Structure 1
Amino acid sequence: MTVFIIAAIILVAATTLALTRPLWHGARSWALAALVIVPATTGGLYLGVGTPAALDPQQVVPAATDATGAAELSIDQALTALRSRLHQQPDDLEGWLLLGRTLRFQQDFPGARDAFMRAFALAPESADVMVEAAEAMVMASERPLIEGEPLAMIQRALAIDPDQQRGLLLLGAHHIQAGRAEAGLVHWQRLLELAPPESLPSLRQRIDEVRAEAGLPALPPTAAETTEARSLTIELDISPALAETTADLPSSAQVFVLARRIDGAGPPLAAKRLPLGPFPRTIVLGDGDNPMATGSLFEQPRIRLIARISRRGGANAEPGDLEGSLEIPAEAGTRIALTIDRVIE
């Protein structure tokens, strides 16, 4: 299932640049900005509407297997099976969404529009479905402009969910198409607060290009970008051998993530205390997490990262706690993988 979702996101993103270029009418940043945002929002749509398992081709039709037992199912076979299923189950929202996305990838825009409109009829109050249906209507139009009914649907979707990223992208593009760059940039700049950190540099570049074309100065860094620049992003996980033991931890258990000097001297350079939760998880650790405010985490050439699950919730390590550590260069803006992989004796 996960592989299928990732593949679908990649396919949609790879075609977005070509498919949306006519919408831009001279402002070349539109298609590139769509490429930045679409992967994140599409994944959210796959996972956010109904039952994700229903989108798995192997759930739609039993797959043939090759000599190694691997599943083989062509897009055409999957489409045939999916259409058959939708004929029998016309109220299958997830099925109509999958059909629309597949036809959009195949550049059958009228077919994609019809599928998304069927989904919209089943979920008329879903901002996500509303935006996809509106976008499909634009793609299928002889004049691919964001206006009329698609524009009204996008505006309604944003009234329901003001943070709907695809809607903000499209509404911004509508204003820029119409020569109202400043109005469009309001929506695109809002995306700087919503998009995932890895998308910010590309998104900012597209926005600055449009601002330059409109005679506007480049934006100053946002709070999120400043924080990202002066922090470490830690992808924290737990080893399979220890993962099973977390179910037996008491309710008092807490997760501590620390950055210390290599020699261990002095208080932590940065520290966070978090409730025990699922793994893997992403944790941002930076200068704002210095408990003593004694200087920057990044003044040290190298630091030791420590992640510990404390059974009793105490800050000091005790026998039976679970821990992992890693020595790294103290470079702001980096992303580090850290695994809790041992029991303190």
Structure 2
Amino acid sequence: MVAGFIAICVVLAMAALACVAHQLWHDRRKPASTAALTASCLLIPVLAGLIYLQSSNYEWAHAGLEMGEDGSPPRVEELIGPLRARLEASPDDPRGWMLLGASYAQVERYSDAAQAFDRVLDLTGGRDMDALMGKAEALILGNPQRLLEDAGEMVEQVLLADPANPKGLWYGGLRASATGQDIIAVQRWRMMLEGPVTPEVRAIVEGELNRLGASVESGGAVSAEGNVEIRLTLGQPASPPPGAVLFIVARIPGQAGPPLAAKRVDGARFPLEVRLSDADAMLPGATISDQPELAITARLSARGQTTSGPGDYEAQAAWQAGQGALELELIHQP
């Protein structure tokens, strides 16, 4: 019976993955589709595993989850109603709520999924990191902007408790990349590849590493040639207002006009590592990779504006090729 049930889980997982992977892979250049594709590849095997975990505690036939007339396993949609009914009758079952949350997420009912994972957190005193990660993922897939807000904070909390959590590493890498912390993104995605991942997930993660100019092999360094690595700290009082935006500008020393390169980082958290590359060039044909020296200005704008103003934090320094990371402390401007 156990072997048969495992086979059902495998069939369910692979069938569901085949249904969603092709279209999402076709649209993978879109950030939201990339996140969704990777989430699907990570979620569907987890969902199958959760079904198996429940098999020892649930009488599935009594719950209305019989096999189809043709011997096919039940679809995810068919799991939700009976499982929800069981949980309404016996609500103190965290594993049941986990399965329900994963099922809701798979059919893109993200708000319902987040609520189901919330029930797990309520029942476990907030200590179940898988439930917290599930809630964060549901919020992100429902609204990708949440990755830079509360859902992103949940991901960081998961990684503090479980540094090797694969979903935490994926979304934590996306969050780091979106906030200009490419070095952290590379570290997290490489660590993710050290664990067991499907070929589909590996291809996506390697694509993101290549986009950041990082070698795919574990342990390799981010390509440093032509890049300006900057490490920033915040001087006292280290309390920028909500919505502050970090701007980093690179100029050729003594040259007026538009900057050679610039980078904007929303939601910056300090200390912070940022990398400037040719991809940040402001002018057509401009590069920073062949510049012997640059004048670097970093400013944390309290108003989120490109022009300086009171309450900003600023720092300036000269950078020379081959010197390594540039250390900058942003000083408060009254």
Q: TM-score, normalised by structure 2?
A: 0.51
CA 14–184 in structure 1, closer or farther in 2 if over 3 Å, else same: farther
- Aligned mates of 1:60, 1:119 — CA distance in 2: 21
For residues 60 and 212 of structure 1, do their structure 2 counterparts lie closer, same or farther at Cα, with a shift above 3 Å needed?
Answer: same
Q: Which amino acid aligns with 1:60?
A: A
Relative to 1, partners in 2 of residues 1:57 and 1:121: Cα closer, same or farther, differing over 3 Å? same
Aligned to 1:130: 132
Moved more, 127-136 or 35-44: 35-44
**Structure 1: 5+ residue stretches without partners:** 224-345
Residue 6 (structure 1) aligned with residue 6 (structure 2) = no
Q: CA deviation at 1:136?
A: 1.2
Q: In structure 1, what is the equivalent of residue 177 of structure 2?
A: 176
Higher relative contact order (CA 8 A, sep 6+): 1
Deviation sequence 1:185-209 (CA, Å, 0-9, x none): 211100121125x64xx55543443
Equivalences, count:
214
**Hey, what's the Cα distance between the residues in 2 that align with 1:64 and 1:13?**
20
Q: Distance in 2 between matches of 1:51 and 1:36?
A: 21
Structure 2 gap segments, 5+ residues each: 221-334
User: What corresponds to 1:195 in structure 2?
Assistant: 196
- Report Cα offsets for 1:280-306 as digits up to 9, x if no partner: xxxxxxxxxxxxxxxxxxxxxxxxxxx
Match of 2:100 in 1: 99
CA 1:13 to 1:180, structure 2 compared with 1: closer, same or farther past 3 Å?
farther
SS of equivalent residue, structure 1 residue 60: coil
| Residues 17 and 34, structure 1, Cα contact 8 Å, conserved in 2 | no
Task: Identify which of 203, 206, 219 aligns with 2:204.
Answer: 206
CA distance in 2 between counterparts of 1:144 and 1:20 reads 21
Specify whether residues 99 and 21 from structure 1 end up closer, same or farther in structure 2 by C-alpha distance, changes over 3 A only.
farther
How far apart, in 1, do the equivalents of 2:190 and 2:68 lie? 48
After TM superposition, the structure 1 = structure 2 runs for residues 323-338 of structure 1, keeping only pairs within 5 Å, are: none
Q: Aligned AA for 2:13?
A: I
- Which deviations, in whole Å up to 9, do the C-alpha atoms of 1:101-143 show, x marking residues without a partner? 22222222211221121122223212222211111122334x5
- Aligned-residue CA RMSD (Å): 4.0
- Write out per-residue CA displacement over residues 184-239 of structure 1, whole angstroms, 9 at most, x where no aligned residue: 1211100121125x64xx5554344333333x24234669xxxxxxxxxxxxxxxx
Hey, what's the Cα distance between the residues in 2 that align with 1:133 and 1:139? 10
In the aligned structure 2, how far is the partner of 1:152 from the partner of 1:27?
Answer: 19
Q: 2:133–2:168: 8 Å Cα contact kept in structure 1?
A: yes
CA gap 1:168/1:74 in 2 versus in 1, 3 angstroms: closer
Match for 1:132: what amino acid?
Answer: G
1:280 corresponds to which residue? none
CA drift at 1:34: 4.1
* 2:293 match: none
Letter in 2 for 1:171: G
Asked if the contact 1:157/1:167 (under 8 Å) is kept, the reply is: yes
Please give the per-residue CA displacement for 1:255-290, whole angstroms capped at 9, x wherever unaligned.
xxxxxxxxxxxxxxxxxxxxxxxxxxxxxxxxxxxx
Q: Provide the rounded CA distance (Å) in 1 between the counterparts of 2:190 and 2:22.
A: 20
Deviates more, 1:205-214 or 1:25-34: 25-34
Asked if residue 61 in structure 1 is aligned to residue 64 in structure 2, the reply is yes
Letter in 2 for 1:167: G
Counterpart of 2:281 in structure 1 is: none
SS at match of 1:195: coil
* CA–CA distance in structure 1, aligned partners of residues 21 and 78 of structure 2: 24
- Partner Cα separation in structure 2 for residue 45 and residue 74 of structure 1: 14
- Map 1:29-68; keep pairs closer than 5 Å: 30-34=35-39, 36-39=41-44, 41-42=46-47, 51-54=54-57, 57-58=60-61, 60-61=63-64, 63=66, 66=69
Distance 2:158 2:122 in 1: 14
Q: Which residue in 2 is equivalent to 1:162?
A: 163
The one-letter amino acid paired with 1:161 is D
Note if contact 1:41-1:165 (Cα within 8 Å) is conserved in structure 2.
Answer: no
Secondary structure of 1:194 counterpart: coil
Amino acid at match of 1:219: V
The range that moved more, 124-133 or 57-66, is 57-66
| CA deviation after TM superposition for structure 1 residue 166, in Å | 1.2
Distance 1:102 1:167, change over 3 A: same
TM-score, length-normalised on structure 1? 0.50
Q: Which amino acid aligns with 1:133?
A: K
Shift in alpha-carbon separation, 1:107–1:205, aligned structure 2, 3 A: closer
Counterparts of 1:76-95 in structure 2, within 5 Å, are 78-95=79-96
**One-letter identity of the residue aligned with 2:135:** A
What is the CA–CA distance in structure 2 between the aligned matches of 1:59 and 1:46, rounded to whole Å? 15
Q: Is the 8 A contact 2:113 2:138 kept in 1?
A: yes
- Which residue of structure 2 aligns with residue 218 of structure 1? 215
